[in-house]
Chains A and B, each alone.
Chain A
């Protein structure tokens, strides 16, 4: 594996090939805020909060650090007025959906994001995909997935699989930044688990 030399916020950082800018920064102890990133999961690039300025030879542009690969000679800035302004707006948009998420609130304090900038639209899920990807990539169960698209996109348990797998697992619960996942689980449990258990017991 070849070595990659980069500059992040003025510091010399050593990365290895295949590393993302986010990983290289974190390894060097430089923190970048993330919502949809998880070390055990494949890069997703959903929340865009981890965006940074990066460039070669003095030209810089905005890149999403959790999916952008480290590159020799890359100069990265993890904070600037421009970045902070974008993160603030992103947080304000997310807060319209999940105003009481502790993670969002902490970040809001740091970036001066206000809860009331956009009209409230409490759909709670912020589409980080952590639950969906964890169930698929780590557990290989696929008990939960996304349905629909655009502003109608939502998570949805698959009752047949969820009734069998979830009661003894629930490992995705602590990952959710908004607790919507737990609420959705309680709903699917109430609506369909009894029926699914009857199906399961008949088929075995």
Chain B
């Protein structure tokens, strides 16, 4: 575990206990998950008990206590996307990535998550990869987009 990088993140916020969530977000962005060793390090340098850190890390969906893929796919299953064919897009995503919703592949390339509205229903079915929005997805186009991230 590269503890220097954890320390750098903590230093960025001058070891302020109130910056805990920011620190966790940065670690999540860097490693795509929150390894226990990293959390223990943060606990010691910020002086925040491990119990509190784990409560926060399990409270927000943005954090993960298990490794996640380099690319995060969010597929919208909200009403508008659903009627426009999101379930079929999901099937196609599962086919190209080999993972279902909530899962991460063994090579840690992708994590797949379904969400309930991305807020741009006119573009439905909508998929988001690493925060970038891909609208008007068909099963074939979604597969092509994912391939381009491989």
Contacts and interface: CB of A to CB of B under 8 A. Distances in A.
Interface of A: 132, 135-136, 142-149, 156, 158, 160-161
A145 to B, nearest CB: 3
Given A147-B54, A156-B54, A158-B54, A142 B59 contact: no
A136 B51 contact: yes
Contact of B55 (A143, A145, A160): A145
B44 interface: no
Nearest to A154: B58
A145 B52 contact: yes
A146 B50 contact: no
Contacts of A156: 54
Contacts of B50: 142, 145, 158, 161
B49 interface: yes
B59 A144 contact: no
12 contacts: A132-B51, A142-B49, A142-B52, A145-B49, A145-B55, A147-B54, A147-B55, A148-B59, A149-B58, A158-B51, A160-B40, A161-B50
A134 to B, nearest CB: 12
Contacts of A145: 49-52, 54-55
Interface of B: 40, 49-52, 54-55, 58-59
Contacts, number: 31
Contacts of B51: 132, 135-136, 142-146, 158
Nearest to A148: B58
A145 B53 CA distance: 9
B13 to A, nearest CB: 21
B36 to A, nearest CB: 9
Contacts of A144: 51
Contacts of B49: 136, 142, 145
Contacts of B58: 147-149
B34 to A, nearest CB: 13
Contacts of A161: 50
Contacts of A143: 51
A129 to B, nearest CB: 11
Contacts of A160: 40
A143 B52 CA distance: 10
Given A136-B49, A142-B49, A149 B54 contact: no
A132 B59 CA distance: 16
Nearest to B36: A160
Contacts of B59: 148-149
Contacts of A132: 51
A142 B54 CA distance: 11
B106 to A, nearest CB: 25
